[in-house]
C-alpha cells in the first residue's frame, strides 16, 4: 500500500509541477508561455519593469555567445527565448504548420533551398530594415524583404593535404578534375535526398554544368568510383581520410579547414585540409530571418532583426555557427582571415528553380547515381 501511495503522491507532485510550468500562459498572452526554469533564472537580475519575452524559432545548428545576446536583452529590457525545432527543413515545416498561431515571433534559419516554401506559404511579414543598406544585393533574394539575409556558407569540396603530398598527386582544382582517372575512387559525397550539403553540391553541379549536362557529369563520377553516404557526419567522420576513412576528397563547407585549426586536438599551425574554391565549384547557402505573421510583438521583432544584422551579432556568427556575416562592416576573426578561402564566384541556382525542380533533380540524380 505504501508503495502505491508513494507512486500516487509522486504522480500528483509531477502533475502539479507540470501545471506550474503551464500556468503562466493563461493570465498573460498566448506568446508568453515561459516555462518555470527561465523565470526563476531571471528573478535575481530583474530590475524595474518585468522584461518582455521575445521568442526566436530556429534550427538545431543555431548558437550564439551568451554575452552578445545579453547586450540585446539589457538594451531593450527583454528576455530572448530560443526554440530549436530540428533541422532546417523540419523547422520550416513547423513554422508553416503553425501559421496563424505562430510558435514564435521571429524565425531564423530558412536557407535559399527552402526559401520558396516559406515565402509561398506566406509565413513572414515584410520588414525593410535600415541595415539592409550594409548588405550586398546578391544576398537579398526576396525583393519584398519578408526574408532578410543574415549569413552565408559555401558548400565546397575539401581534401586532405597529407594524402596528396604522400602520393605526389596534385589536389583537384575544380569539379572537372574529379572525372580524371588520377582521382578514381577518391571522392565521397552526401545523398541530396537526405543531406543539406549533399543537395547543395548537387545544385553546384547543376549551376555549373547546366541542367542538360549535369547528369552526364555525375555518370562520369560514378564511373570514377564515387562513394555516396546519407549524411555529412558519416561522410566527414567515417569516409573522409582525415578522420580515418579511405576517401581523401569530401563534400563539406568552405569553412571546414579553419575549423580544423580552431577545434584541433592539439594546437596546430596549418589546417590539415583545404577547400576547392575555383569559380563555380561551390554552392552558396544563404540563411534568412523573418518576422512570423501573427506575432503580437512586431516592433520588438523588428529590433531583434536589426540586432541580428548589426556588426555586434554578425561578428559573433562565425565561431558559433561556422557560417559568415553578410554585413560588410562585420570583421572576421584572425584565424578565418588567415585560413578561410571564399570563392569569388559560386554556382547559381535561384530559390524558385530549386523549389520547382527539387523533386525532379533528386529523382534524376538517384536514377543516375544510386541505381
Angle at 356 between CA 192 and CA 218, to 5 degrees: 35
Shortest distance, position 136 Cβ to other proteins, whole Å: 26
CA distance 312 to 291: 20
Question: Residue 326, SS3?
Answer: coil
Residue in 39, 71, 78, 93 binding other proteins, rule: CB under 8 A:
93
CA distance 122 to 248: 43
Q: For 201-221, give one letter per residue: b (16+ CB within 10 A) or e.
A: bbbbbbbbbeeeebbebbeeb
- Enter the DSSP assignment of 134: G
Answer yes or no whether residue 43 interacts with other proteins by CB under 8 A: no
Answer yes or no whether residue 44 interacts with other proteins by CB under 8 A: no
- Residue number with CB closer to other proteins (17 or 138): 17
The span of 132-140, 247-255, 276-284, 344-352 binding other proteins (CB under 8 A) equals 247-255
CA distance 168 to 162: 10
> What are the φ/ψ torsions at residue 176 (nearest 5 degrees)?
-60, -40
Query: Scanning residues 339 to 368, which ones bind other proteins (CB under 8 A)?
Result: 358-359, 362
Shortest distance, position 178 Cβ to other proteins, whole Å: 19
- Enter the DSSP assignment of 16: H
- Residue number with CB closer to other proteins (294 or 311): 294
The span of 97-105, 122-130, 217-225, 303-311 binding other proteins (CB under 8 A) equals 97-105
The span of 128-136, 203-211, 214-222, 256-264 binding other proteins (CB under 8 A) equals 256-264
Query: Site size for other proteins, by CB under 8 A?
Result: 86
- Residue number with CB closer to other proteins (60 or 75): 60
Answer yes or no whether residue 332 interacts with other proteins by CB under 8 A: no
Query: Scanning residues 124 to 183, which ones bind other proteins (CB under 8 A)?
Result: 162
Residue in 42, 51, 76, 87 binding other proteins, rule: CB under 8 A:
87
CA distance 218 to 225: 11
Cβ–Cβ < 8 Å for 324, 330 = no
Answer yes or no whether residue 117 interacts with other proteins by CB under 8 A: yes
Site string for other proteins, 13-42 (x = CB under 8 A): -x---x--xx--xx---x--x-x-xx----
Residue in 39, 42, 61, 311 binding other proteins, rule: CB under 8 A:
61
Residue in 145, 220, 234, 302 binding other proteins, rule: CB under 8 A:
234
| Total number of residues shown for the chain | 371
Cβ–Cβ < 8 Å for 148, 287 = no
CA distance 217 to 227: 15
Residue in 50, 213, 268, 352 binding other proteins, rule: CB under 8 A:
268
Answer yes or no whether residue 82 interacts with other proteins by CB under 8 A: yes
Q: How many CA atoms lie within 13 A of 221 on its CB side?
A: 24
Quote the cell numbers at residue 339: 585560413
- Residue number with CB closer to other proteins (280 or 318): 318
Shortest distance, position 81 Cβ to other proteins, whole Å: 8
Answer yes or no whether residue 211 interacts with other proteins by CB under 8 A: no
Cβ–Cβ < 8 Å for 282, 254 = yes
Q: Which helix (H) or strand (E) holds 205?
A: helix 196-209
Answer yes or no whether residue 48 interacts with other proteins by CB under 8 A: no
The span of 42-50, 127-135, 245-253, 276-284 binding other proteins (CB under 8 A) equals 245-253
Answer yes or no whether residue 230 interacts with other proteins by CB under 8 A: yes
Answer yes or no whether residue 253 interacts with other proteins by CB under 8 A: yes
Shortest distance, position 327 Cβ to other proteins, whole Å: 20
Crossing angle (nearest 10°) for helices 351-369 and 214-223: 30
Cβ–Cβ < 8 Å for 114, 285 = no
Amino acid at each position: 500500500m505504501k508503495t502505491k501511495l508513494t507512486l500516487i503522491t509522486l504522480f500528483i507532485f509531477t502533475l502539479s509541477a507540470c501545471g506550474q510550468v503551464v500556468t503562466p500562459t493563461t493570465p498573460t498572452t498566448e506568446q508568453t508561455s515561459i516555462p518555470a526554469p527561465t523565470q526563476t533564472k531571471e528573478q535575481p537580475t530583474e530590475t524595474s519593469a518585468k522584461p518582455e519575452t521575445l521568442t526566436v524559432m530556429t534550427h538545431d545548428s543555431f548558437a550564439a555567445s551568451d554575452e552578445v545576446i545579453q547586450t540585446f536583452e539589457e538594451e531593450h529590457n527583454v528576455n530572448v527565448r530560443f526554440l530549436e525545432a530540428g533541422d532546417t527543413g523540419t523547422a520550416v515545416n513547423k513554422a508553416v504548420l503553425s501559421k496563424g498561431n505562430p510558435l514564435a515571433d521571429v524565425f531564423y534559419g530558412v536557407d535559399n533551398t527552402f526559401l520558396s516554401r516559406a515565402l509561398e506559404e506566406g509565413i513572414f511579414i515584410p520588414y525593410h530594415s535600415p541595415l539592409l543598406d550594409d548588405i550586398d544585393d546578391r544576398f537579398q533574394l526576396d525583393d519584398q524583404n519578408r526574408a532578410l539575409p543574415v549569413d552565408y556558407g559555401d558548400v565546397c569540396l575539401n581534401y586532405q593535404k597529407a594524402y596528396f603530398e604522400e602520393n605526389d598527386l596534385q589536389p583537384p582544382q575544380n569539379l572537372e578534375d574529379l572525372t580524371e582517372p588520377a582521382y578514381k575512387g577518391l571522392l565521397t559525397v552526401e545523398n541530396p535526398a537526405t543531406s543539406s550539403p549533399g543537395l547543395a553540391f548537387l545544385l553546384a553541379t547543376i549551376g555549373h554544368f547546366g541542367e542538360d549536362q549535369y547528369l552526364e557529369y555525375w555518370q562520369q563520377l560514378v564511373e570514377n568510383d564515387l562513394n555516396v553516404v546519407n549524411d555529412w557526419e558519416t561522410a566527414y567522420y567515417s569516409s573522409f581520410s582525415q578522420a580515418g576513412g579511405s576517401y581523401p576528397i569530401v563534400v563539406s563547407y568552405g569553412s571546414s579547414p579553419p575549423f580544423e585549426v580552431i577545434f584541433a586536438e592539439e594546437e596546430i599551425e596549418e589546417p590539415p585540409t583545404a577547400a576547392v574554391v575555383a569559380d563555380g565549384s561551390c554552392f552558396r547557402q544563404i540563411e534568412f530571418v523573418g518576422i512570423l505573421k501573427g506575432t503580437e510583438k512586431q516592433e520588438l521583432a523588428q529590433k531583434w532583426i536589426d540586432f541580428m544584422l548589426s556588426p555586434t551579432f554578425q561578428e559573433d556568427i562565425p565561431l558559433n555557427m561556422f557560417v559568415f556575416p553578410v554585413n560588410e562592416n562585420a570583421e572576421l576573426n584572425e584565424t578565418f582571415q588567415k585560413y578561410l578561402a571564399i570563392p569569388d564566384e559560386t554556382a547559381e541556382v535561384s530559390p524558385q528553380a530549386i523549389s520547382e525542380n527539387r523533386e525532379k533533380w533528386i529523382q534524376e540524380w538517384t536514377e543516375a547515381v544510386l541505381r
